[in-house]
Structure 1
Amino acid sequence: MITLESTDAAGIEQQAADLDFTLPIEQTDAWAQYQNTVDGRRPWGAYVIKQDGRTVAFISLIDYETHGYHYLRSVHGPAWIDKPSRESEAEVRQALIKAVRGKDKSIAFLRIDFWDYEGTFPVLSTVPYNETVIVDLTGGDDEILTRMKKRGRRDVRKSLRESPAICTDETDQAIADFSEYYEVMVETAQRDGFSPAPMRDYVDMLSSLGSDHARVFAARIDGKVVAWSIVALNRDHAVYYYACMRTEVMRQLVPDKLLYTICCALGQRGCTQIDLMGIGNDFAPSLKSLNTFKTKFAEDTVQTSAGRDVPIKKGFYRALTMLQSIRRSLRHKENSGK
Structure 2
Amino acid sequence: MNCWNVYAIEKTEHHAMQVQELSRTEYEQCAADFAATVPIEQLPLWQDLEATVPGRSPWGYAAIKDGERLVALISLVQYETHGYRYLRAHHAPVWEEEPTAEQEAEALTALVDYVRGRDKKQVFMRLAVAHELPITTPCLSTLPYDTTVVIDLTGGDEAILSRMKPRGRRDVRKALRECTLTFSDETERAIESFDEYYEVMVETAARDGFTPAPAEDYRNMLEILGHDHCRLFAGRDGDQVITWTIATISGTHATRYYGASRTGAARNLATDRLIYFECCELGRIGCTEYDQMGIGSEFQPATMGLNTFKTKFAKDGVRMVAPDRDVPIKKTFYRALVAAKAARARLRSAKHAE
1:315 corresponds in structure 2 to 332
Q: CA deviation at 1:107?
A: 0.3
Where do 5+ consecutive residues of structure 2 fail to align?
A: 1-15
CA, structure 1 residues 200+335, in 2 after alignment: closer, same or farther (shift >3 Å)? farther
CA deviations over 1:174-197 (Å, ceiling 9, x no partner): 111111100111111111111111
Q: Which residue type is aligned with residue 42 of structure 2?
A: Q
Query: Which aligned pairs between 1:186-265 and structure 2 lie closer than 5 A?
Result: 186-249=202-265, 251-265=267-281
Residue 346 of structure 2 is matched in structure 1 by 329
Question: What amino acid maps onto 1:12 in structure 2?
Answer: Y
Calculate the TM-score normalised by the size of structure 2: 0.92
Code of the residue aligned with 1:95 in structure 2: it is A
Q: Is the 8 A contact 2:242 2:261 kept in 1?
A: yes
Which residue number in structure 2 is paired with residue 285 of structure 1?
A: 301
Is 1:87 the counterpart of 2:69? The answer is no
1:101 counterpart = 2:113 = no
Q: Is the 8 A contact 2:62 2:74 kept in 1?
A: yes
2:321 corresponds in structure 1 to: 304
Give the TM-score, by structure 1 length: 0.96
Cα deviation code 1:74-124 (max 9, x no counterpart): 000011121100100000110000000000000000000101112211111
Say whether 1:72 aligns with 2:87. yes
Q: CA deviation at 1:13?
A: 3.0
Residue 302 of structure 1 aligns with an amino acid whose one-letter code is R
- Runs of 4+ with >4 A deviation: 249-252
C-alpha RMSD of the superposition: 1.3
CA distance in 1, matches of 2:25, 2:211: 33
Deviation at 1:126, TM superposition (A): 1.2
Contact 2:20 2:64 in 1 (8 A): yes
Encode CA deviations 1:132-155: one digit per residue, 9 max, x unaligned. 001111111111111111111111
AA matched with 1:235: G
Report deviation, 1:333.
2.4
Match of 1:59 in 2: 74
Contact 1:226 1:249 in 2 (8 A): no
Q: CA offset at residue 321 of structure 1?
A: 0.4
Matched position secondary structure for 1:200: helix
- Counterpart for residue 17 of structure 2: 2
8 Å Cα contact 1:9-1:32 kept in structure 2: no
Q: What is the SS of the residue equivalent to 1:122?
A: coil
Residue by residue over 1:284-328, the C-alpha shift from the partner in whole angstroms, topping out at 9 and shown as x without a partner, is 122112111111111231000000001100000000001101111
